[in-house]
Chains A and B, each alone.
Chain A
Amino acid sequence: MIHCHDLSKTFKRARVLDGICLDIALGERIALIGSNGAGKTTLIRCLLGEYTHDGTVTIDGRSPRNERTVVLGSIGFVPQLPPPLKMPVGQLIEFSAALSGADPKKIDAIAGRLGLGVDEIRSRPFIKLSGGMKQKLLIAIALGRDAKLLIMDEPAANLDPEARRIFFDLLAERQHDATMIISSHRIDEVAALVNRVIEMDMGKVVLDDKVADDVSLSGRFACRLVARRADAALTKALSAWKLSADADGLVWTGEVAGPDRLRFIGVLSRYVALIGNLSLHEVAE
């Protein structure tokens, strides 16, 4: 689906992409990782036809630069930083839906599933929304289209655990008919979502690895946690993950999204001294 051959990009004298060769097939879920300045964003902008470059980039055999309306019609993009748009939410949805031939109601519905009621914020300027709300709306706009390629730059960074769980469900629904490129600084943020890891450094691909594809995007893990004593900070953290406590506030139970379990354990590591017992069991789908 995506073919890059000898892709290079130079800004003044800095070579930001250096002879990238990649082939990505339909249905692959790619973690694009690397430190700041590795070339991830530049690669994404070349895929979106926003940068001129040396070498070739094609998506389904077409150049995103020369045939942008056709190519971009099949791409859903979520940027890392939401743009500071002053237009009302309703108009942003209308604008993007009209350009990409999507149904605005589908975007509203996906936003609703992510916990964002569009009707209440339709007339509010996009720039005035909270970070999480902006992220949810941009995800809804990207997923509300029949995109064959989803390019997402740190898409879940601003989402709460519940919204992330729904986001993973939404990705699971698309995993067989779309290719996904998920960019992140850290592999542990996205490891459970993907079946291929591409690591970049200094404009080159330094690692291109297929990974075990056993993790279900819509999988759940039943969690049981026993705290040594009640603690306000631990209570707040577990409540954010929608775990519920017994009457004493010591035994916590609930479900964690499968792709999110590493992040969950990461959060718990801050309270390790307070945890007496922890179990995570995969729940049959």
Chain B
Amino acid sequence: MKQLWLTARLDIVESLRARWFMIYVAVFGGIVALLFLFGLTESRVLGFIGLSRLLVTYIQLTMAILPIFVLITTVRSVAGDREAGVFEYLLSLPVSLGAWFWGKILGRYIVIFAPVFFAMLAAVLIALIKDIEVPWGMFGYYTGLLAAMAACFLGLGMLISSIARTTDMAQGAAFMTWLILLLFLDLILLGVMIQGRIAPELAVSIALANPLQVFRTAALALFDPQLIVLGPAAYVILDAFGVTGYKVFAIAYPTVLGLLAASLGYFLFRRGDLP
């Protein structure tokens, strides 16, 4: 446990000094600042006003940025460290491979989750100061969604880092992963699949295997509980899960997917060459 925490701390300190982290903080801090600056809390869309409106916009933007950001920065820094000889030196110290790998994940998880969460928390604090009503239920659920999203893409990033031997290969694989998830995100694709006489349940299952789609649908479900904008696909989803069941699924599935990917990454890391 001591080794795990030491490694996590080490990764946090290394990340805090890295340029990518400064950009990462600036992006998410900047989003919240800009949303306030442009008076989003005063505008009304689909009946949403105040902080709810801001949070809905924030989560949509985060869903677009966070996955690719986490994937690329994770594989770049892990594969880059390996190439630069950081692994050769630090793994010559008496640290167990489990503590090293999971400590690195823990440290990185804190580093990627904290800025997106604190940016959202800052929005809540500003709302409290400005006497704007805070939708606590929405804030809590979005926090869970962000935590699940960070876990999912961090796990995938660590898996790619364990497989790829060079930074270039790792970056290419991370980008391809994101692109594939993005392609299967499109609801038009679902329509085409259904038109192609695929069973709707199968088409929706394929879509819901995609964590990006899961987040997107979960975010929609908060302001459109019947998922009317999804059309017929909504019936399949709601019949299978129910409104609450889908909410739970949207947090549990990506988290489990991330953990499974990280576990596979650890298995491959442990049985291969370390540096």
Please give the residue numbers on chain A whose beta carbons come within 8 Å of chain B beta carbons, in ascending order: 45, 48, 50-52, 68-73, 75, 77, 79, 81-88, 91, 95-96, 98-100, 125, 138, 151
Contact = CB atoms under 8 A, between A and B. Distances in A.
A99 B86 contact: no
A51 B273 contact: yes
Given A48-B91, A98-B6, A83 B96 contact: no
Contact of A98 (B2, B92, B273): B2
A46 B90 CA distance: 15
A96 B93 contact: yes
Contacts of B272: 52
Size bracket, chain B contacts: 20 to 34
B275 A50 contact: yes
B3 A99 contact: yes
Interface in B71-92: 84-92
B273 A52 contact: yes
A99 B13 contact: no
B13 A83 contact: no
A50 B273 CA distance: 6
A68 B96 contact: yes
A87 B14 contact: yes
Contact of A77 (B92, B97, B271): B92
Contacts of B89: 77, 79, 82-83, 85, 138
Contacts of A84: 84-86
Contacts of B95: 69, 72, 99
Contacts of B92: 48, 50, 72, 75, 77, 79, 151
Contacts of A88: 13
A91 B17 CA distance: 13
A188 B91 CA distance: 30
Interface in B110-167: none
27 contacts: A48-B91, A50-B92, A50-B274, A51-B273, A51-B274, A68-B96, A69-B3, A72-B92, A72-B94, A73-B94, A79-B89, A84-B86, A85-B86, A87-B17, A88-B13, A91-B10, A91-B13, A95-B6, A95-B9, A95-B93, A96-B93, A98-B2, A99-B3, A99-B6, A99-B94, A125-B17, A138-B89
A69 B96 contact: yes
A1 B230 CA distance: 68
B34 interface: no
Contact of A100 (B14, B91, B93, B274): B93
Contact of A85 (B14, B271, B274, B275): B14
Contacts of B14: 85-87
Interface in B217-246: none
Contacts of B96: 68-69
A83 B274 contact: no
Contacts of A77: 89, 92
B157 to A, nearest CB: 19
Nearest to A76: B92
A146 to B, nearest CB: 12
A51 B275 CA distance: 8
B71 to A, nearest CB: 21
Contact of B88 (A50, A68, A95, A125): A50
Contacts, number: 81
Contacts of A70: 94
A76 to B, nearest CB: 9
A84 B271 CA distance: 25
Contacts of B10: 87, 91, 95
B18 interface: yes
Contacts of B93: 72, 95-96, 99-100
Q: Which 9 A-B pairs have the closest CB atoms?
A: A72-B94, A77-B92, A73-B94, A86-B17, A83-B89, A50-B274, A83-B86, A69-B94, A99-B93
A64 to B, nearest CB: 10
Contacts of B9: 95
**Which of A48, A51, A52 is packed against the most chain B CB atoms within 10 Å?**
A48
Contacts of A86: 13-14, 17-18
Nearest to A46: B273
Nearest to B273: A51
B167 to A, nearest CB: 13
B13 A68 contact: no
Given A45-B88, A68-B94, A69-B96, 18 more contacts: A45-B275, A48-B92, A50-B92, A50-B275, A69-B95, A70-B94, A72-B93, A72-B94, A73-B94, A83-B84, A83-B85, A83-B86, A84-B84, A85-B89, A86-B18, A87-B17, A88-B13, A95-B9
Nearest to A47: B92
Nearest to A92: B10
A32 to B, nearest CB: 16
Contact of A79 (B85, B271, B274): B85
A45 B87 CA distance: 11
Nearest to B18: A86
A108 B254 CA distance: 46
Interface in B1-26: 2-3, 6, 9-10, 13-14, 17-18
